[in-house]
């Protein structure tokens, strides 16, 4: 194990990406402070975090909620870096778009202001979503990169995602990056745009991303239709890239992580071949969207213009 580093703060530590990130940070010698929501369900069983190697000596768990940005203050103060992974999830679609967006934006900006006033935080890494990139008229566009943004009306008209998630991710990321520009002399802000993240999970409950990725096996036709043509990345590659971006002194601004583009039918073929016992069938009347891979593609992780930083996303 390396010498103690940090401390760093990870918001949303009991989530899929957050828990993996904590595990990797502890393995690399960091002292970690993480936040979980204050509701009873979020605190019912955190043994998957407290039992991690190094957690007893170097992991502190705080309760905080995005609806109350000041609740993150105790976890952030004294930290040298913050990984803002938490995001309000309206899984049942019960909350209006405006409410979810307000939670996400005010929470993120409140966390950034706390980081700035701490005088110890040097860099903030914000995890965004490919939803903030891919809802766009791609006619005439040959390369999707960090300058590409989704168009709100196109996203709202799509049946692929709830508008509350798509709009909140897009507007929050823009606000985070704008805050970073306004305060670039005091603190660096990085936005890391993620596609569908897959891989084993540490938490006891199946993450939303995994239930989507496994929708063919689970027999969820509505989720299957959401897949269409998508990009995927392994959660271990995500966490290693997040740490790289934090440790690299030149990293700031927006980065896109997108390695494997896969269609629904390619997924069906792969899973059917690897797991023939499941006897997977394509849902009735299902037609996946067709994307010309020669016309629309994503970089692995790209920073341009001027200089480039690349992080390899290892295929699995």
Integer-rounded Cα radius of gyration of the chain: 19
Residue bearing the bigger pLDDT, 158 or 106: 106
- Read off the pLDDT band of 176 (50, 70, 90): very high
Q: Would you state the pLDDT for residue 302?
A: 39
| Range of 152-156, 211-215, 237-241 with top mean pLDDT | 237-241
Question: Three-class SS of residue 155?
Answer: helix
292 pLDDT more than 60 = no
- Read off the pLDDT band of 153 (50, 70, 90): confident
Residue 19 CB contacts under 8 Å (≥ 6 apart), including other chains: 13, 48, 49, 201, 202, 203
Beta strands 196-198 and 260-263 are unpaired
Domain membership of residue 311 (yes or no) is: no
Residue 278 CB contacts under 8 Å (≥ 6 apart), including other chains: 217, 271, 272
Domain membership of residue 81 (yes or no) is: yes
Q: For the ranges 93-97, 201-205, 244-248, which has the lowest average pLDDT?
A: 93-97
Report the alpha-carbon distance of residue 122 to residue 79 in Å, rounded.
9
Domain membership of residue 128 (yes or no) is: yes
CA proximity to 267, closest of 301, 311, 232, 298 = 232
Calculated CA dihedral for residues 182, 186, 192, 198, nearest 10 degrees: -140
Residue bearing the bigger pLDDT, 161 or 214: 214
Give the ranges where the chain is alpha helix by DSSP (H): 16-27, 40-43, 47-50, 55-58, 73-76, 97-118, 152-156, 163-182, 208-213, 215-218, 221-227, 235-247, 264-274
Strand partners, 196: 232
With tokens 């740490």, the residue in question is: 243
For the beta carbon of residue 26, count every other beta carbon within 10 angstroms. 21
CATH for 29: 3.40.50.720
- Read off the pLDDT band of 196 (50, 70, 90): confident
The mean pLDDT value for 132-150 works out to: 82
The mean pLDDT value for 37-46 works out to: 79
Q: Would you state the pLDDT for residue 227?
A: 67
Report the alpha-carbon distance of residue 167 to residue 128 in Å, rounded.
11
Distances (CA, A) of 24 to 21, 140, 186, 242, 251: 5, 41, 27, 10, 20
- Read off the pLDDT band of 291 (50, 70, 90): very low
Strand partners, 129: 194
For the beta carbon of residue 208, count every other beta carbon within 10 angstroms. 14
Q: For the ranges 18-27, 54-63, 91-100, 287-296, which has the lowest average pLDDT?
A: 287-296
Q: How many domains is the chain built from?
A: 1
Domain membership of residue 70 (yes or no) is: yes
Residue bearing the bigger pLDDT, 230 or 54: 54
Q: Would you state the pLDDT for residue 61?
A: 97
Structural domain containing residue 15: 5-198+234-258
Q: Would you state the pLDDT for residue 311?
A: 37
Domain membership of residue 290 (yes or no) is: no
Domain membership of residue 10 (yes or no) is: yes
Mean residue pLDDT across the chain: 82
Domain membership of residue 267 (yes or no) is: no
Residue bearing the bigger pLDDT, 106 or 312: 106
- Please answer whether residues 302 and 255 qualify as being in contact, where contact means their C-beta atoms are separated by less than 8 angstroms: yes
Domain membership of residue 88 (yes or no) is: yes
Residue bearing the bigger pLDDT, 231 or 76: 76
């Amino acid at each position: 194990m390396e010498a103690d580093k940090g401390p760093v703060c990870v918001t949303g530590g009991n989530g899929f990406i957050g828990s993996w990130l904590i595990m990797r940070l502890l393995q690399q010698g960091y002292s970690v402070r993480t936040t979980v929501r204050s509701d009873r369900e979020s605190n019912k069983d955190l043994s998957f975090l407290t039992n991690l190697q190094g957690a007893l000596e170097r992991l502190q768990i705080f309760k905080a909620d995005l609806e109350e940005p000041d609740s993150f203050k105790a976890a952030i103060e004294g930290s040298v870096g913050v990984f803002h992974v938490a995001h309000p999830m309206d899984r049942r679609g019960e909350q209006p778009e405006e409410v979810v967006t307000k939670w996400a934006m005010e929470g993120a900006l409140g966390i950034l202001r706390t980081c700035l006033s701490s005088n110890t935080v040097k860099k903030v890494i914000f995890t965004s979503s490919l939803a903030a990139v891919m809802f766009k008229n791609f006619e005439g566009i040959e390369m999707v990169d960090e300058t590409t943004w989704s168009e709100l009306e196109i996203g709202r008209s799509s049946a692929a995602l709830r508008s509350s998630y798509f709009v909140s991710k897009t507007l929050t990321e823009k606000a985070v990056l704008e805050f970073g520009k306004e305060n670039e002399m005091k603190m660096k802000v990085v936005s890391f745009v993620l596609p569908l993240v897959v891989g084993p999970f540490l938490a006891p409950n199946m993450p939303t991303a995994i239930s989507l990725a496994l929708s063919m096996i689970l027999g969820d036709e509505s989720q299957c239709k959401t897949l269409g043509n998508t990009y995927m990345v392994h959660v271990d590659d995500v966490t290693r890239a997040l740490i790289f971006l934090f440790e690299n002194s030149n990293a700031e601004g927006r980065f896109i992580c997108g390695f494997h583009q896969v269609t629904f039918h390619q997924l069906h073929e792969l899973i059917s071949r690897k797991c023939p016992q499941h006897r997977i069938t394509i849902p009735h009347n299902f037609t996946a969207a067709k994307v010309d891979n020669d016309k629309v593609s994503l970089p692995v992780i790209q920073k341009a213009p001027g200089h480039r930083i690349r992080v390899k996303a290892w295929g699995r």
